[in-house]
Structures are given as C-alpha cells and as structure tokens.
Chain A
Amino acid sequence: MRPRPATTTSSCRGLSNNVSGLHLLTIEEAARRLAARETSSLELTEACLSEIERTDGEIGSFLEVTADLARKQAKKADARIAAGKDIAPLTGVPIALKDLFITEGVRTTCASKILHNFVPTYQGTVAGRLADAGAVLVGKANMDEFAMGSSCENSALGRTSNPWNTAYVPGGSSGGSASAVAARQALGSYGTDTGGSIRLPASFCGVVGLKPTYGRVSRYGVIAFASSLDQVGPFATSIRGAAALLGAVAGHDPRDSTSIDTPVPDYTSGLGSDLKGVRVGVPKEYFIEGLEPDVEARVREALAKLEELGAELVQVSLPHTEYAVATYYIVATAEASSNLGRYDGVRFGLRTGEEQGLAAMYGRTRDQGFGDEVKRRIMLGTYALSAGYYDAYYLKAMKVRTLIRRDFIQAFERCDVIASPTGATTAFKFGERSGDPLAMYLTDVLTISTNLAGLPGMSQPCGFDSEGMPVGLQLIGKPLDEQMLFKVGAAFEDATDFHTKIPTSVAA
C-alpha cells in the first residue's frame, strides 16, 4: 500500500466505512472545495478508490481500476490547484469512463473477447480533453459488449449489478458508468448513447444521465457501434455536475467530421431559476400500455411539480413513436455490421484459426470473439443491406426516420421541452429479458426516437417504485438546446430530494 497524507487516514481501505465522506460529494461541491483548498484531489481520489475496493466486488462497475494512474493524476491536479493557474471545472475530480473510450496506455476492451488485450497507442479526444482539464481517471467501466444491450448482461468480461439491489440489472449499455456514479465510486462518468444507453441505466440506477445533441461531443477515439446515432454523454449525481461534465468535453474536433462547429455555452450558468414561460410538451404516445403504474405515477407527479414551478404543460403528439424500435434495429444494425468489419484478427485483438487459411481465420476469429448479441446484430444488419433487401429494409427505415424526425419538429412548434418516462419499467432482474432479444429491444421504446432524431435527451431521478427501485424522468430538447434540459432539470432537482437518496450499499 502506498503511503497517504495524514488527512486521508479516515478513508483507509478495507474498513467497513469510508469516513471522509468525500465520495458522496456532487461535482459542483467537490469543485468548490478544491478551489477553496478545503480538500485535495488526492483525498477525493482516495475516497473513491476506497469505495471501489469496498463495494466493487459485489457491484462490478469496473473492468479495470486505474488506481496508480488516478493517484498520479490527483497529485498533478493538486499541484495545479496549488499553483493557482490553469484550473478547469473538472481539475482534480475523479471520474470513470465506459470501456469503449480509447485511453492511451490503458486497456480498452469494449467488454468484448475480441478486444480483450487491446491497449491503445493513441489518445481519444474525450480522454485527452479530460486529462488536459486535470480530471482523474479511476477506472474503465463495464458495458454491454460493443454497447449492444439494455441491461449490461451482454458484457463478455464481467457482471455489473444495480447498486440499489444487486438482484437487478443496472441497465445498459453504459451500465458500469451508471452504477459507478450511483454507488459513489466516482463523482461522475461518461458513457455513450445510441438508443438509450446513457438514459436507461441512469434511470435504473437513480442518477442524472444526458445524451447530448448528435455531433455535440467528438467521437474520435470512441469505438463505433452505429455512427449516425452514437453520442457521448455524462452521468452525475446532480444536474449541475452533469452540466460541468458536458462542458468539459463538448465542442468541435477536426478529427471527427460529424462534430458540430458551434460555440459551447457555459452549461452551468443560469440554472436555478423558476420555469415561468417554459412550455413542457407531454407526448401521449409515451404513456403507453405496458407502462408500470408506479412509473406513470412518479412521472405524473414530476409533471405536476414542473407545473407548480411555473411551467405550462402542453399535450403534444409524436405519432410515429410505435415505429421507432423497428426503424432503429435496421439503421443501427446496418451501421454496426459495417463498423464491426474491422475486427478480423489482423491488426488488433483476438486471432484464431489461422492455420486453416485467411478466410477461416476471419470467420473463426469473429465467431469466437463476438458474443451472441453482437453476432445477432451483425447478421441482421448484413441481411438488411444485402442484395435484394436494401430497399425493403434499409431505405424504408431511413424514410421512416424522416417521419420520426418530423414528429419532433412539429411537436417543438408547441413546446420548449418534452417530458416523459425514461423507461416503461424500473430495473428488471437478471435473466428476465435476456432470453428474448425482441423483449430486450423493446426496453428502449421511449429513448430510441431521440437518437433517430439526433436530439438531446436526459434522465433524472424522480422517485421510486414500490420495490424501492429508482424511476427516471426523461426530458428531450431541441437540437443543441442542452441548456433547456439543465434549466428544467435543475429547477426540478432544487425542488425535490430524490437526487439525495443513495443506495444502502454506499458508505455514509
């Protein structure tokens, strides 16, 4: 064990508690204390590492804990703060990254056997911007293999449980990023969202999760799943924390030609006002058959609270919602079948079957390296793009995508933000949906349209069901209007205490 400064003796590893309590801080409070030099980054980092050591055997948020790197980065951050210059909002803040963010020198697996030994020799933009800002990386978080899944059960390398009750899944695909924040193993984290992979686990784990507008954050160094849908976003225990995390990574990047070249606002400013004049659209198609009564009740209560805070509720319609899942599973799998063509056992990752020649090497490497869900999607996408079926499936899906997009354009003529449940249900138990791919796909029925339309969407805690599992409120905004989501989210958060509830597994 490395020697630690005297001030961190209260966070000794191996004890049944974590007395410093620093792991419980929101990002904005941690940043305030760091700037005021009331606490050090090393103390914050030790508190998180100690909590990881104490609880991650049971929760399994991490595929790799980067403790040595974290301590090194924390000391550098402390030196930066001591020098009083070059201090960014995340300087010294411990964070986790989903294991599909390329991190130079740190193993990056995408939770797949095919990349089990991949150590990037270059830095991705998100990891690079965070390192430049002085953020501290505590580890790489578990996920559904290649971000394909809604429960985190499709990881080939580890099992992640929901910190609120370990019999339940954390949601997916960014399950480890969500559980790490919910379990206070990191103050914030990043994931990616292709059809709900940030918002759904945020909802299931009772934290804030945001998928920004398509193109807002660079995807250079993000292992690709579906390139017209993938987007990077943060998890935090507070709206202001999520806003700070987004600000640290958003903005144009010449190395990602789909990143949008418009200025990044200060997302943390102007929060805390009332909601007078804000029109909140309530889409009737999102209050569907199959919505759990507890979920509907909590979300209706949240809508009433928004109204109480000055917002005006407006009924809107998104008539093509019922076609979103079908559209998505053509578009996303077609793009995935192309993106995953690169895993062939030649340049990186697993190789097997080479003694039988090149074709056998490709075929066996891919059969043994990919898990069942990944293969299912590659097959579906290949089929949809194959000769004779392109018009019936892929072209058709791209046209329906236009109709789904138009629904939102029309709805936003009548409102400033759309509110709905994030998931139709709260977290489910392990194995409950994993035997039925279609049932699993329908888990994302309320989040997928947002990706097809490229809009920003956020989930935040709005209560609990009768089993004590968290319920998420989803807010969907106009393109590049993340600020509206933060404004409404902060007003709701300031008026409620759901975000202050923590799982009993967390050391108080």
Chain B
Amino acid sequence: MKLTHDDVRKVARLARLELEDTEIESLSADLSAILGYIEKLAELGTDNVEPTASVVTMQAALRADAVTNTRNPEKTVANAPATRNHYFVVPRIIE
C-alpha cells in the first residue's frame, strides 16, 4: 500500500493536523512502510471469525439517572487557554 502526498493530506484533514510539507513527505514514506507490513493480515482467512472489540464480556454498566458531580465552574475552566465568565472562549465561528 503506497500512500501519496494527497492521501496523507486527506487523512491529516480528517485528523485535524495542519502538517508541514516535510512532515507530509516523511509520513507518506513511514505510513506506506507500516501499512505494507500490516498487509500480512490479509494472509489469514477470517470469514467466519467474530471480531473482538473488548476482551471483557460484561453488561453495560447502568446507574441511577442522578447528578453525581457537583457544580464547580472555576475548576472546570481552570486549565483552559482562554475563558470569560466561566465559559470556554474560542475564535469566532459565525461571522
């Protein structure tokens, strides 16, 4: 599997990574090599095999539909790069 620079740019957009041109170059080589290695999985027949998403078989954990956390806006926004009146501030989205 060979990833072109355009393939890498497309995936980077999906991953919200604004990559430098040099990064696109090296990622295209690295990812192609890694995917080439991963292709060995195609050797295995898996038509009748169930996929494993989790190794623990458990029921969905349920709890009472009640508020368990206390309201603490200072703590909630304490690590935010920009805040105003306990809100997270982001660049303007709607002009």
What does the 1/0 interface line of A356-396 toward B look like (CB < 8 Å)?
11111111101100101001101110110010000001011
Q: Does B66 make an interface contact (CB < 8 A)?
A: no
Task: Tell me the minimal C-beta distance from B55 to chain A in angstroms.
Answer: 3
Q: Does B52 make an interface contact (CB < 8 A)?
A: yes
Collect the chain B residues with CB atoms within 8 Å of residue A375's CB: 17, 19, 23, 27
Q: Does A273 make an interface contact (CB < 8 A)?
A: no
Number of A-B contacts (CB under 8 A): 163
Q: Does B67 make an interface contact (CB < 8 A)?
A: no
Q: Does A403 make an interface contact (CB < 8 A)?
A: yes
Task: Tell me the minimal C-beta distance from B16 to chain A in angstroms.
Answer: 4
Complex Cα gap A361–B44 (Å): 43
Instruction: Report which of A383, A395, A397 forms a contact with B31, defined as CB distance below 8 A.
Output: A383
Closest chain B residue, CB of each to CB of A392? B42
Q: A254-B63, A379-B11, A380-B34 are in contact. Are A214 and B55 (CB under 8 A)?
A: yes
Collect the chain B residues with CB atoms within 8 Å of residue A405's CB: 52, 55
Considering only residues 446-466 of chain A, those with a C-beta below 8 Å from chain B are: 452-454
Q: Does A402 make an interface contact (CB < 8 A)?
A: yes
Residues of B within 8 A of A (CB): 3, 7-8, 11-12, 14-20, 23, 27, 30-31, 33-35, 37-38, 40-42, 44, 46, 49-56, 58, 60-61, 63, 72, 75-82, 88, 90-93
Task: Tell me the minimal C-beta distance from A445 to chain B in angstroms.
Answer: 12
Cβ-defined contact, A366 with B49, below 8 A: no
Q: A345-B81, A393-B38 are in contact. Are A400 and B31 (CB under 8 A)?
A: no
Considering only residues 379-430 of chain A, those with a C-beta below 8 Å from chain B are: 379-380, 382-383, 386, 393, 395-403, 405
Collect the chain A residues with CB atoms within 8 Å of residue B35's CB: 380, 383
Collect the chain B residues with CB atoms within 8 Å of residue A121's CB: 72, 75-76, 78-79
Q: A257-B61, A382-B11 are in contact. Are A215 and B56 (CB under 8 A)?
A: yes
Q: A398-B51, A437-B30, A438-B37 are in contact. Are A348 and B93 (CB under 8 A)?
A: no
Closest chain A residue, CB of each to CB of B55? A454
Q: Does A287 make an interface contact (CB < 8 A)?
A: no
Closest chain B residue, CB of each to CB of A228? B54
Cβ-defined contact, B55 with A367, below 8 A: no
Closest chain A residue, CB of each to CB of B47? A399
Instruction: Report which of A327, A382, A386, A454 forms a contact with B41, defined as CB distance below 8 A.
Output: A327
Q: Does A508 make an interface contact (CB < 8 A)?
A: no
Cβ-defined contact, A329 with B34, below 8 A: yes
Cβ-defined contact, A379 with B27, below 8 A: yes
Q: A399-B49, A399-B50, A438-B34 are in contact. Are A363 and B55 (CB under 8 A)?
A: no
What would 12 more interface pairs be, CB under 8 Å, given A358-B93, A375-B27, A399-B46? A121-B72, A258-B54, A258-B58, A341-B16, A354-B82, A354-B90, A361-B90, A366-B16, A375-B17, A386-B11, A403-B49, A454-B55
Closest chain B residue, CB of each to CB of A363? B18
Collect the chain B residues with CB atoms within 8 Å of residue A258's CB: 54, 56, 58
Q: Does A167 make an interface contact (CB < 8 A)?
A: no
Task: Tell me the minimal C-beta distance from B27 to chain A in angstroms.
Answer: 6
Q: Does A330 make an interface contact (CB < 8 A)?
A: yes
Complex Cα gap A111–B70 (Å): 30
Collect the chain A residues with CB atoms within 8 Å of residue B91's CB: 354-358, 361
Q: Does A67 make an interface contact (CB < 8 A)?
A: no
Instruction: Report which of B14, B34, B76 forms a contact with A386, defined as CB distance below 8 A.
Output: B14
Cβ-defined contact, A326 with B40, below 8 A: yes
